[in-house]
């Protein structure tokens, strides 16, 4: 290792620099103990994409350094630190082109770093769109180790593409807002004033509301405004608490603030209009009672009140008194106007809640300055309140709860704490049935019930839209199942919606050394076992949940390495004609054979991969291997049978990633008719309009669509008549209880044939099942009767024999 081009530095688990050698300090003068390494080395606000520590990768990674404009290889080793915790020693070295070509690289990440996109975003996103303003060129990238691609949908232009995306994906209540926020004119104007901004929005699907955000940023220097990047990311429902506040801030920066002017003097009102109309949206009323009605209806949008203290009827003092007792209206700043200004009048107005006083006739500049000052104070206070407390429940927000809970645990090392999460079930359904206002009452009721428990050494917060969290000393909050059950019964009996179900996750006697965010995550994971269970409403974090989490962590730690090292294999299960027994196709199945853990069931890793996004790499790996094998069979003169591949919901619906399969098949000269796509039955209840569009696009290329797992409990028989399908695959559960299911199987086969669709029966194992299915007119048989799933080499031999 060349001492001039290499160095060593040590970081803790939070990426803070603990120490570095002399060479590292020379190469990177910005290195400084206690600072984040990614800030010093890469100028980023989050860990570097190719970092081995971040990705849990063993072995060196090569990446492009945007500060020194060279390629470097970095390797990491775990090491104990002097305080007893664990950290990492990182060794970096400049590499030449030849070494770089031989190293493990991250080409897509390099490209994003070279273009300055990662630096601009300061985060990690799945989908990144790069816009060159002068040329109008749009390029789409996938980050995190996926291949570079161009999204064909963007060929129609930005405006059409973004409109289509919003119409298909964004919750109806957020669409107008998203149209405005993603208008390229607005984006350009905003980014000329600041480097980046984020917009949160919701999608609505049958399985609940999901939350996303899009971040827009300019690339390059502010005085050379030519390139914009837009990145989309998924967020869980924890952001809902911040959504309305952030929207109001975004809107307030683009729309005029509303001022309510309460004044029965026409001359005074006209002067105010002349001075303020260009800067504010003005609402006038001459009646105090009418003003209160306006405020009750529009209190969220009105930024300030200008009140003439000398009005007739209900005078200004009475108006101020009426607002003092109102929780919402008392937060709106009031500036008093009057012809005469005496210390007594001003003092009385201020004591009743007014924030400032201005004398008539108005000095225009002074009036504008006082209004700006009052608004600035109000918005600063609102921001602090939004950060600290939840508007609806009055409890701490998520971030504030975590902060105070960390201090509570730290300052009370001898107290045994329990963590509780209370979740209002089926919140979307309740909103549709009873309305948002009624559901808000339920959430406030739950919050008040927990708060009224008079818990000593405890705090409460609103964790997300439907979840309220509490940490408490075991002594002051009962936690037996029987007592918690009574609490839930009280919720049901006295709740504004009696049918509302509250489920509770409990982490007893928490470990004081574990961060609160991890305690929350573990408690929420324990609640996963309550899904679709309405009798069981209590879930505890225990050894079973701990084992699941540890298993998932082990899987995530080695999944990238496993793919690189060829631990994933594609197996093929043959499909045979039911009538002739002839080989007609196969299904491609992913298998993971780990050197330490052995054979790992797809049920153990596929759901996790769908959650963490690694499923895209797996989908692409399977598709590529299948296409390669079909190409080999053709080149060897073998029968090239159609092979069905399973494609995930994430890649088909949201990433629209199937273009990769088409492109690769075309490059290998594989006929699209030899590729079938299997889509699980459950996907058909999720965003049907978008799914139909995706399926039609794929079928138009000559690819057949198969519905997998039909009969597993999601879709109705009537649903499939409208779906663009070619094949229906009977779920193998029908075969497990074959004799009892015979009539249903025959009904499904007859129905499918009447709709022009063929039937595949999975899980067929016996001669009796085969004969009955032949009699019923089933088209294709898949199962151990003919063959178990076979590795690629064995399936090639199977083709030769059949």
Q: Could you give the percent of the chain with pLDDT greater than 70?
A: 74
pLDDT at 222: 57
pLDDT in tens, 14-23: 889 988 877 7
- Output the pTM of the full model: 0.48
In a 10 Å sphere around its CB, with 0-12 CB exposed, 13-18 middle and 19+ buried, how is residue 163 labelled?
middle
pLDDT at 207: 45
CB 106 within 8 A of CB 148: no
The pLDDT of residue 731 is above 50: yes
pLDDT tier at 151, thresholds 50, 70, 90: very low
How many Cα neighbours within 13 Å face the side chain of 436? Answer: 3
Place of tokens 């600041």: 194
If we measure between CA atoms, which residue out of 643, 635, 637, 652 comes closest to residue 672?
643
Place of tokens 């919750």: 171
pLDDT in tens, 666-720: 999 999 999 999 987 556 555 566 777 888 888 888 899 998 878 765 444 556 6
Q: Calculate the CA dihedral of residues 709, 710, 715, 717 and round it to 10 degrees.
A: 180
**What does the alpha-carbon distance between residue 719 and residue 67 come to, in Å, rounded to a whole number?**
56
What mean pLDDT comes out for the span 426-445? 82
What mean pLDDT comes out for the span 52-74? 62
Question: 3-class DSSP state for residue 331?
Answer: helix
pLDDT at 374: 78
What mean pLDDT comes out for the span 478-497? 65
What mean pLDDT comes out for the span 445-449? 84
Which of 34-38, 40-44, 483-487 shows the lowest mean pLDDT across its residues? 483-487
Structure-model confidence comparison of residues 565 and 163, the more confident one: 565
pLDDT at 767: 92
pLDDT in tens, 289-303: 888 878 876 766 788
The pLDDT of residue 773 is above 90: yes
Mean pLDDT of the chain: 77
Distance between start and end Cα atoms, the chain: 57
Q: Could you give the percent of the chain with pLDDT greater than 90?
A: 16
pLDDT at 482: 65
pLDDT at 136: 67
The pLDDT of residue 615 is above 60: yes
The pLDDT of residue 105 is above 50: no
pLDDT tier at 147, thresholds 50, 70, 90: very low
pLDDT in tens, 733-765: 888 888 888 888 888 898 888 888 999 999 999
pLDDT at 704: 92
pLDDT in tens, 314-349: 678 888 888 876 655 677 889 988 887 677 888 888
CB 139 within 8 A of CB 129: yes
pLDDT at 242: 39
pLDDT at 480: 64
Strand pairing report for 334-338 and 356-359: parallel
pLDDT in tens, 620-670: 999 999 999 999 999 999 988 999 998 887 777 766 678 888 889 999 999
| Two structure tokens written together for 626 | 């299948």
pLDDT at 118: 52
| Two structure tokens written together for 802 | 């059949």
pLDDT at 233: 67
**What does the alpha-carbon distance between residue 612 and residue 551 come to, in Å, rounded to a whole number?**
14
**What does the alpha-carbon distance between residue 599 and residue 224 come to, in Å, rounded to a whole number?**
55
């Amino acid at each position: 290792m060349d001492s001039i081009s290499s160095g060593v530095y040590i970081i803790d688990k939070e990426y803070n620099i603990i120490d570095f050698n002399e060479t590292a300090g020379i190469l990177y003068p910005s290195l400084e103990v206690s600072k984040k390494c990614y800030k010093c080395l890469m100028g980023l606000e989050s860990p570097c994409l190719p970092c081995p520590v971040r990705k849990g990768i063993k072995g060196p990674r090569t990446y492009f350094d945007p500060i020194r404009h060279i390629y470097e290889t970095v390797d990491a080793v775990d090491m104990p630190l002097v305080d007893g915790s664990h950290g990492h020693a990182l060794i970096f070295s400049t590499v030449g082109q030849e070494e770089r070509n031989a190293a493990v690289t991250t080409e897509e990440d390099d490209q994003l770093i070279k273009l300055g996109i990662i630096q601009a975003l300061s985060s990690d996103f799945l989908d990144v769109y790069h816009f060159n303003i002068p040329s109008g060129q749009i390029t789409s990238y996938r980050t995190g180790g996926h291949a570079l691609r161009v999204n064909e949908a963007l060929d129609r232009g930005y405006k059409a593409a973004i409109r289509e995306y919003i119409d298909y994906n964004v919750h109806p209540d957020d669409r107008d807002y998203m149209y405005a926020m993603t208008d390229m004119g607005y984006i350009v104007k905003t980014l000329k004033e600041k480097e980046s901004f984020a917009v949160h929005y919701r999608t609505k699907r049958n399985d609940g509301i999901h939350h996303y955000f899009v971040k827009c940023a300019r690339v390059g220097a502010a005085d050379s405004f030519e390139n914009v990047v837009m990145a989309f990311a998924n967020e869980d429902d924890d952001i809902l608490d911040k959504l309305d506040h952030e929207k109001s801030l975004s809107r307030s920066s683009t729309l005029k603030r509303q001022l309510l002017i309460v004044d029965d003097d026409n001359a005074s009102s006209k002067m105010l209009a002349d001075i303020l109309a260009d800067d504010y949206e003005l609402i006038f009323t001459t009646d105090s009672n009418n003003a209160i009605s306006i405020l009750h209806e529009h209190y969220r949008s009105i930024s300030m009140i200008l009140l003439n203290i000398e009005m007739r009827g209900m005078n200004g003092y009475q108006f101020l008194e009426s607002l003092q007792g109102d929780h919402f209206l008392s937060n709106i700043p009031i500036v008093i106007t009057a012809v005469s200004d005496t210390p007594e009048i001003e003092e009385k107005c201020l004591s009743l809640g007014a924030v400032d006083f201005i004398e008539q006739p108005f000095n225009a500049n002074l009036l504008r300055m006082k209004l700006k000052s009052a608004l600035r104070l109000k918005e600063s206070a609102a921001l602090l309140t939004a950060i600290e407390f939840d508007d609806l429940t009055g409890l701490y927000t998520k971030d504030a709860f975590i902060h105070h809970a960390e201090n509570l645990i730290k300052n009370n090392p001898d107290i045994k704490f329990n963590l509780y999460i209370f979740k209002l079930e089926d919140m979307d359904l309740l909103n549709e049935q009873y309305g948002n206002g009624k559901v808000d009452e339920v959430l406030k009721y739950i919050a008040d019930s927990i708060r009224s428990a008079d818990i000593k050494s405890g705090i409460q917060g609103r964790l997300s839209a439907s979840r309220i969290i509490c940490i408490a000393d075991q002594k002051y909050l009962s936690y037996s199942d029987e007592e918690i059950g009574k609490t839930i019964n009280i919720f049901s009996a006295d709740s504004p919606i009696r049918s509302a179900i509250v489920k509770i996750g409990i982490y007893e006697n928490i470990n004081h050394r574990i961060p609160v965010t991890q305690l929350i995550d573990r408690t929420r994971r324990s609640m996963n076992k309550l899904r679709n269970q309405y009798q069981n409403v209590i879930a505890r974090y225990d050894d079973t949940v701990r084992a699941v989490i540890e298993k998932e962590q082990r899987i995530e730690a080695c999944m990238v390495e496993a793919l690189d090292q060829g631990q994933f294999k594609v197996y093929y299960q043959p499909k045979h004609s039911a009538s002739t027994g002839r080989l007609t196709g196969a299904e491609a199945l992913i298998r993971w054979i780990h050197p330490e853990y052995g054979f790992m069931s797809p049920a153990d890793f596929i759901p996790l991969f769908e959650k963490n996004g690694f499923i895209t790499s797996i989908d692409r790996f399977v598709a590529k291997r299948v296409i390669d094998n079909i190409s080999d069979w053709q080149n060897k003169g073998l029968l090239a049978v159609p092979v069905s591949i399973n494609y995930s919901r994430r890649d088909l619906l949201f990433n629209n990633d199937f273009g990769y399969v088409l492109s690769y098949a075309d490059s290998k000269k594989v006929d699209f008719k030899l590729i079938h796509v299997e889509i699980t039955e459950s996907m058909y209840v999720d965003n049907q309009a978008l799914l139909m569009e995706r399926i039609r696009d794929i079928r138009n290329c000559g690819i057949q669509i198969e519905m997998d797992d039909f009969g597993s409990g999601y879709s109705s028989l009537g649903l499939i008549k409208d779906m663009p399908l070619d094949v229906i695959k009977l779920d193998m559960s029908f075969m497990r209880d074959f004799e009892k299911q015979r009539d249903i199987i025959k009904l499904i086969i007859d129905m499918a044939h009447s709709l022009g669709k063929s039937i595949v029966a999975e899980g067929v194992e016996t001669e009796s099942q085969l004969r009955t299915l032949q009699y019923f007119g089933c088209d294709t048989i898949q199962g151990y009767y003919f063959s178990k799933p076979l590795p690629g080499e064995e399936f090639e031999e199977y083709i030769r024999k059949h």
